[in-house]
Amino acid sequence: MRELYYANPVKMIGLNEYYIFYNQSIDSINIWIRNDLRVIQMQKPALEWQLDSLICYNQKGKKCIMAIMNKDNKGINSINHFYGVNIRNYWHFFRRPTLYAFSEFYNLPPNTSLSFEKLKQIATSNVNETVRKYNQE
């Protein structure tokens, strides 16, 4: 399933553009962290974070949704929706709602960090549901 999601944006914009866009997204997050911007507070205390490789574009390729996965040493796992919009050939990024993934819901002891692989599964499911709802509106 993830392979299909990965293949579609690559097919839509091309592999080279996909990696440029993906790296540009990570650069934006790092700039926000370095400048202590309020919009990205979750990533600062997180010991580990990753931008998921899943990128869902609209049909025109001008808007997208992604997920930022976070883990800390207290076992707090979260996924931030991360949106992009292309205005005059320049991508602008912003963060949206946060989904918390409590380890107890996945049969793990409280305060246990989930693996990034598990967070990717949760993110894929959540982003898929968000895209489905968005397309119905």
**Model confidence over 37-49: pLDDT tens digits?**
765 555 555 568 8
Alpha-carbon distance of 41 to 73, in angstroms, equals 16
List CB contacts of 72: < 8 A, sequence separation 6 or more. Answer: 45, 46, 47, 48, 113
Residues β-bridged to residue 95 = 82
Residue 113 three-state SS: coil
pLDDT, tens digit (0-9, with 9 covering 90-100), for 88-124: 988 888 887 788 888 888 888 888 889 999 998 888 8
